Amino acid sequence: MTTNWTVRAIRDAVNSGSATAASIVDEALSRIEKKDGEIGAFLEVFADDARKAAKDVDARHAAGEKSLPLAGVPIAIKDNMLLMGHVASAGSKMLADYRAAYTATVVARLQVAGAIIIGRTNMDEFAMGSSTETSAFQKTKNPLDVTKTPGGSSGGSAAAVAADMVPAALGSDTGGSVRQPASLCGIVGMKPTYGRVSRYGIVALASSLDQVSPFTKNVEDAAIVLSVIEGKDPLDATSVVLDEPVAADLSLSLQGVRVGVPREYFIDGMDEDVATCVRSNIEKLRGAGAEIVDISLPLSPYALAAYYIIQPAEASSNLSRFDGMRYGNRGEGAIEESYRSARGAGFGAETKRRIMLGTFILSAGYYDAYYKKAIAVRAALKTEFDQAFARVDVIVSPTSPVVAWDVGAKMNDPVAMYLADIFTVAANITGIPGISVPCGTAHGLPVGLQILGKNFDDNKVLQVAAAFEALNVKA
């Protein structure tokens, strides 16, 4: 195939008639067959459905639809996104046999735009994890070094894009679950502002934090995918009518752009080579005309602690429905014994840990001491970020304090695993948009630069990211 393996190139080739959606799907299925045995990005490939969808797209083209936004583009979806008639297990034995009765809004919007849903990708169980190792079904490897983790919880989607099996994939970002694996796999991961993208049809982890997000190989492709899935959805009350949809033109001069660099995001204990790599790229921004502003976000060190109170609390509530009666496989015995059996066998260790932690946090006598304080920290963090964005246009930092680590290295140390998200959770707590773009390597593995913006300033985040990407392309 002569078409470049990017969203824009495939879309333009199919819309122009120089390639067919059927040929693109055959190429994607061939790539997956050749590569995924070693990587384990996919839990299921929808080969028959993908070929049928490709024929439908080609028929639409023949009938005169020659400007579909995602014509013939193969896209993978995370295993917590519903596609009617297909399994959506959220990486858990609890939902191993669950077949979706309806389709998630974001998936439906992809299909309307001409995208081909090629399969569902592996993930940490119920999105609880940072390495895609808590999945009940398999461990996903980093395509750049299969002895390393791809990050998580959306590691399957990240690995599928990084290995060039698909040009784009959807993940969900609750505390960094798209940006962190994007960093570790050397690709782009864009978390939109909370409310920009519908959550309807996504297996919920923490409803006030979750946001569907695209993985791609470049910033332009991320913007194209986001432009399709964004917007108000009457089925999701938290989605909003957008004053500024994603712009078609991402061109931006960095001259005069105020870039905030928070001193709290370069911490003791982070990999020094990662810090050096990120700082050198901040200097590239300065060299291109950006104004680098030293800022302080003194509450940001508390973001991780607040996150690991809010997220388990919401998770314990959301996962209460998976009891073997309403959802999940029925356990043996009378009702109480059946509940214990179903949840005991259906959930993995990390999911149980967070459910118990969340239930404790919400229990009488502890709700005020923990949950209410975490919510207060959340409000204070939002105020702090708002004040920072009064001085700067964007904030930049490392995405992850480390590069990809060995498979299994942190599985017995939950706190070390949680610390992998130390630079990403604040964006979820405050709802702001953020993107991770590749900025070099450390120890021979990718490093990501995180760019954050104020609420609903997703276009500025994408524009700065595209301008930064262009600097590295020219280099």
Chain Cα centroid distance, residue 363: 31
Q: Write the CB contacts of 126 (distance below 8 Å, at least 6 apart in sequence).
A: 80, 90, 91, 92, 203, 205, 315, 319, 351
Give the 3-state secondary structure of residue 14: helix
Report which of 401, 371, 193, 174 is spatially closest to residue 278, judged by C-alpha positions.
401
**Distance in angstroms (rounded) separating the CA atoms of residues 149 and 131:** 6
**Torsion from C-alpha of 197, 198, 203, 208, nearest 10 degrees:** 70
Q: Are strands 434-442 and 445-452 parallel, antiparallel or unpaired?
A: antiparallel
DSSP state of 414: H
- Tell me the backbone φ, ψ of residue 215, rounded to 5 degrees: -110, 135
258 membership: H or E segment, kind and range? strand 258-262
User: Which residues carry out catalysis?
Assistant: 78, 153, 177
- Tell me the backbone φ, ψ of residue 394, rounded to 5 degrees: -140, 165
The interaxial angle of helices 21-39 and 155-162, nearest 10 deg, is: 120
Q: Are strands 74-78 and 168-172 parallel, antiparallel or unpaired?
A: parallel
Q: DSSP letter string over 295-333?
A: E--TTGGGHHHHHHHHHHHHHHHHGGG-SSSSSSPPPSS
**Distance in angstroms (rounded) separating the CA atoms of residues 340 and 326:** 14
